[in-house]
Structure 1
């Protein structure tokens, strides 16, 4: 056994652990987008082949060689999509992919339309995230405001203590009255609430 296996802790961490959650979400969403683009192109070619076959009555599909990736978005559009992907919270990554796949399956778009659908799904998710953050912020403000007022009302409704009242019993009163002081030790004045029980 070599000594290098014993000293693996000296090796730098892998590239995966160095990426932030935002980068991982962006890469995942962009990979899904790229895969859906390729699938849309493939389906578009199949539709064109079927159309040609119906039109001519002969299948020449085996003679035609198609480029692997014929349609590509502009660099500006790619940057815009990457920027939108970076705004997606990691907990929304899965739902965004599911929604994107649902729309692709529903509309069966051509390659140029896939980017528009992806853009709309990302925008929809970002708006939903903003709405939820606003709702949480309002809920926190409401809780903070009402906790303060609740603590003040509970303080007001507690039993009122009046230590200077005339009916306070002490040990000396028990001794003067001849009652047994061992029955109860009065080290402090008796506090009573204003309610009668």
Structure 2
């Protein structure tokens, strides 16, 4: 009798992700927002602590640490942000997070300003998605257009070709008139043969 089945009873079965990509994007973006809000709160508390230390000249942080302020989103604001996050495609999730982190590093906002910054990044991403989608539709329409269809018709109305009313001289006209042709100015240069004395 084999002991292998008895030894594997403690292993967890492989987890299959039953979440959709939209749910994963939503969760990732909201976790990023929560993390940036906690970091902003921590920096805000450290700045306030440094100011108190400078003002009083004494550091009592070892005795009793002041409770850190916690800022949380209101339920309505959270639902609005989740609705906007649900519109973000998975391919735009990474760039949105990078842009959000860049703006947070540049502005160093307070905890309550982080959500406004996050909302502005989401709006930027949605506008970029819309622009790229419109550009894709235009290129798709152009590639599906029949050859010689509308584009040729518009070309015909703009440019009228009149082959017999041309002022351009050709070699055939000179041959028909028995006149010597002018020096070559077309495709080949004129080669001069040295005269023999």
TM-score of the two chains, using structure 2 as the length reference:
0.67
Residue correspondences, number: 146
Match of 1:83 in 2: 83
Looking at structure 2, the residues matched to 75 and 53 of structure 1 have their Cα atoms a distance apart, in angstroms, of 36
Stretches of structure 2 that go unaligned for 5 or more consecutive residues are 154-197
Quote how far apart the aligned CAs of 1:143 are: 1.6
Quote how far apart the aligned CAs of 1:127 are: 0.7
Secondary structure in structure 2 of the residue aligned to 1:19: coil
Any runs of at least 4 consecutive aligned residues in structure 1 with deviations exceeding 2 A, and if so which? Answer: 3-6, 146-150
Distance 1:146 1:24, change over 3 A: same
Distance 1:146 1:54, change over 3 A: farther
Stretches of structure 1 that go unaligned for 5 or more consecutive residues are 154-197
Secondary structure in structure 2 of the residue aligned to 1:122: helix
Looking at structure 1, the residues matched to 147 and 71 of structure 2 have their Cα atoms a distance apart, in angstroms, of 58
Looking at structure 2, the residues matched to 100 and 131 of structure 1 have their Cα atoms a distance apart, in angstroms, of 20
The structure richer in helix per residue is 1
Quote how far apart the aligned CAs of 1:148 are: 6.2
Quote how far apart the aligned CAs of 1:60 are: 2.1
Check if 1:64 corresponds to 2:65: yes
Return the structure number with greater relative CO, CA threshold 8 A, min gap 6: 2
Check if 1:2 corresponds to 2:10: no
The 5-angstrom pairing of residues 45-56 of structure 1 reads 45-56=45-56
Deviations 1:38-95 (A, max 9, x none): 000000000000111111111122322424x611010010111111111111111111
Looking at structure 2, the residues matched to 125 and 136 of structure 1 have their Cα atoms a distance apart, in angstroms, of 16
Looking at structure 2, the residues matched to 60 and 147 of structure 1 have their Cα atoms a distance apart, in angstroms, of 81
| C-alpha RMSD of the superposition | 2.6
